[in-house]
Chains A and B, each alone.
Chain A
Amino acid sequence: MDVMPKWAEVILVPLISLILAAILSALVIIAIGEDPVAAVQLMVTGALGSTYGWGYTLYYATNFMFTGLAVAVAFHAGLFNIGGEGQAMLGGLGVALICLLIPWPHWSLALIAAAGGAALFGAAWAAIPAYLQASRGSHIVITTIMFNFIAAAVLNYMLVNVLRPAGAMDPATARFPETVHLPSLHEILAPLGISFSKAAPANVSLVIAVLACFLVWILIWRTPLGLEIRSFGKSGRAARYAGIGAVRITMIAMLISGGLAGLMAINNVMGEAERLVLNAVEGAGFIGIAVALMGRSHPLGVFLAAILFGFLYQGGAELALWTSIPRELIVVIQALVILFTGALDNMVRMPLEKMFLAMRRSREA
């Protein structure tokens, strides 16, 4: 029997972790001689006070939804996919190849193909670690870390030696053709009479990210495959006894996970930069870990946590612009969130469980 009621498990534990992370972050801000209240105000106005701010917040959130879902799906199978960063890099490569090599008549066709390519490249990059974990038992965390570095080298090679247009200095592909330009939120909302900032990078990929959240929810909780993934994650041995193949489920879960991480590229590469640059992912693969932990690996939780981190990212950029607080504050906050919601989970949970146990006893007595 669960010690805690479900609402406490789902809302209270993450909330307390978040508050602890916020308190420590405030202390850090005080330690570097700034005012935390003013900092939060600046972040809120910067990230949520205008459609421009929202446009950036939602753009970042789109990235984090994809990478967060990627980590969450792997978590459900009991796997820790730390390789979202590399998988998203390769996804970018897939998008770039599809956008540059094929002359697309319309962005919608290009988007479908690019999404397929991004997912395919991301999944392929997850396939080798998945296979090694499933058949050789080599730890997926180690192999996915190594694959992040190998991905960086592959991308570097492709951009410097293969995809760089002749005469260009910086390692990046040529600009994608005008026809594959994805409609931004401004262009989508204008016909509806809603004015949205023109400069903000949020685009139609957001819709796909939300759709992905919904599809992952269906997959995990409403399909036989999802049941298999979850049972395998809870107990590999019990699942094997029930006839669920370990190699098969590990492979499937990691391919889906890698594909989701790769899908991020339709937002940052196709939607925003419209060309592939070296540092396109900007750590979003790792933020997926924080997002999945914070969201308790539930698609709705991932959706909310991604928006929270989108807010933190855009707010952090505003802080760096207007105060002497560097952008790295966000990295610290991200670390604290991972620490409290992931590694120190028991520290938050144990006193709560004791409290609920005592409450139940007094009620029964």
Chain B
Amino acid sequence: MDYLTLIQILDSSVRLATPLLLACLAGLFSERAGIFDIGLEGKMLAAAMFSAATAAITGSVWLGLLAGIAASLTLSGIHGLASITFRGNQLISGVAINFLAAGITVLVAQDWFRQGGRTPQLSGGARFEGFTLPFAERLGAIPLFGPAYEELVSGHSILVYIAFLAVPATWYVLFRTRFGLRLRAVGENPAAVDTAGVSVVGLRFAAVAICGVLCGIAGAYLATALQAGFVKDMTAGRGFIALAALIFAKWRPWAALWTCLLFGFLQAIALRYQNIDLGAITVPVQLMDALPYILVVVILAGVGGKAIPPRAGGEPYVKER
């Protein structure tokens, strides 16, 4: 494998890691606040459909992004209503949201465009184009560093840079602000937060809303940047890989970045090579597809330190009466 191929694979890893990273950070906010969210997949899917549809109709990808975020936030609202207000089972609510999104996206896309549940192909202003960083072309001439800068760092859509900037931002918000401290506390010991006079319900809804916005960006990225339009079930399990990454990263933002890059890399490899020939053994492509999930099970089995979720995760908070 030559240097340029390596750069290309890494470049594609970054592109594939972006939606995982956004969804993973989304889940991080929600689960740190004690709300399990297995509906990341559904929120991304809904955002993908509505962003692509809006972009196709208006011709503006930014309006599409807003529509995607709105769709994702609506589902977040349902999740919040079910799991915070009515203290329902958060996992069941997540399952319902995934199915709701899987069904409604095809239903709406078919009703609006009559193209078998997909949106029209997006082009021009209806799509996020690559964003060339300064001096990319001039620095590209430098050996080794040049191609890496031009191909790998520069030339992605703006949402990729937003996703990567979201990592330090998440770290800062969670670990350096009062809001973040309270948000983490509400996921560990909501009664203590309540005693301190801070609204548990308010904090949890805020966390679920942030989760919705991030999932919305992730979905919009899928349909308007990574690909040009929505097709049925286009998230293809990415929400669950993000969930796996979140556990693998033990609910920490920087670790989430590395994990998502790793999982993106695995996807890029699986996409480029069908079966990997290692001389003595051939690694089948199916193993590459399943590797993120297998890795998580291995982590959950206790190899490499215990992954401990936030203590109050999944538990509805009942104020004492």
Contact = CB atoms under 8 A, between A and B. Distances in A.
B286 A293 contact: no
B81 interface: yes
A23 interface: no
A331 interface: yes
B23 interface: no
Interface string A6-41: 000000000000000000000010011100000000
B86 interface: yes
Using C-beta atoms within 8 Å of the partner chain, give the interface range for chain B.
35 or more
Given A331-B102, A332-B100, A335-B99, A343 B88 contact: yes
Nearest to B93: A343
B293 interface: yes
Interface stretch (A149-157, A195-203, A222-230, A235-243): A149-157
Given A342-B89, A343-B92, A328 B297 contact: no
Interface residues of chain B: helix, strand, loop or mixed (majority): helix
B92 A293 contact: yes
B13 interface: no
Interface string A324-342: 1110111111111011001
Contacts of B111: 31-33, 324
A289 B286 CA distance: 27
Interface in A39-93: 80, 82
A357 to B, nearest CB: 15
B302 interface: yes
Given A32-B111, A157-B286, A328-B106, A343 B96 contact: yes
A145 interface: yes
Contact of B284 (A139, A161, A334, A339): A161
B230 to A, nearest CB: 13
A332 B104 CA distance: 6
A332 B289 contact: no
Using C-beta atoms within 8 Å of the partner chain, give the interface range for chain A.
35 or more
A160 B286 CA distance: 10
B199 to A, nearest CB: 20
Query: Interface centre among B93, B95, B286, B294, by most A CB within 10 Å?
Result: B95
A150 B294 contact: yes
B240 interface: yes
A304 B289 CA distance: 38
Contacts of A28: 104, 107
A80 B314 CA distance: 13
Nearest to A128: B297
B95 A132 contact: no
A332 B98 CA distance: 10
A132 B301 contact: yes
Interface stretch (A119-127, A185-193, A344-352): A344-352
A346 B91 contact: no
Contacts of B82: 339, 343-344, 347
B57 to A, nearest CB: 17
Given A289-B95, A330-B103, A338-B95, A136 B296 contact: no
Interface of B: 38, 78, 81-83, 86-93, 95-100, 102-104, 106-108, 110-111, 117, 237, 240, 243-244, 247, 284, 286-287, 289-290, 293-294, 296-297, 300-302, 307, 309
Given A326-B106, A335-B99, A344-B86, 7 more contacts: A128-B297, A145-B240, A150-B297, A152-B290, A157-B284, A157-B286, A335-B98
23 contacts: A32-B108, A132-B297, A142-B243, A142-B300, A143-B300, A149-B240, A150-B297, A156-B286, A156-B289, A157-B284, A160-B286, A325-B107, A326-B106, A326-B117, A328-B106, A331-B99, A331-B102, A331-B103, A332-B99, A336-B96, A338-B92, A339-B93, A344-B82
